[in-house]
Structure 1
Amino acid sequence: MPSIDFSLLTPRERLDLADDLLGSLSEADVPLSAESKAEIDRRNATFAETRAHAVPWAEVRARLRSGTP
């Protein structure tokens, strides 16, 4: 695989590329350790209690792209 010089991309272009790469993966593409799976299950179990504090990914991504905290 050829090496790619990512420093030629702007930070925004690198973030967009990372987002595109992560978005291209399915759950089956990302194996989880037993510990990671247990942590996800724990967080999912408490999500109903903490749902009011949840922020949709689209909003988080928009904030990151705009530089808004």
Structure 2
Amino acid sequence: MEKTFAKRYWPTIVGAIVGAIGGYLYWRYVGCSTDTCPITSSPLNSTLWGTAMGGLLGNILQPNIIKKNNQDK
């Protein structure tokens, strides 16, 4: 049976969403106010960086999560 895209890559998608929220919150509460920091001086850059890092982390954890879910069935 063919899995849908969202069902197959849900750890990566969730990681990207959580990373985007985390990146924005980092910019909002910690970010650089002098415009000398290339990532944290802009909300867009900080959010995109958080999305990429969260997606990568979710992708790294994806095989372990899917394997564990398949063993539980």
TM-score over 0.5 for the pair: no
Q: TM-score with structure 2 length normalisation?
A: 0.28
The one of the two structures with greater contact order (alpha-carbon pairs below 8 A, sep at least 6) is 2
Higher-Rg structure is: 1
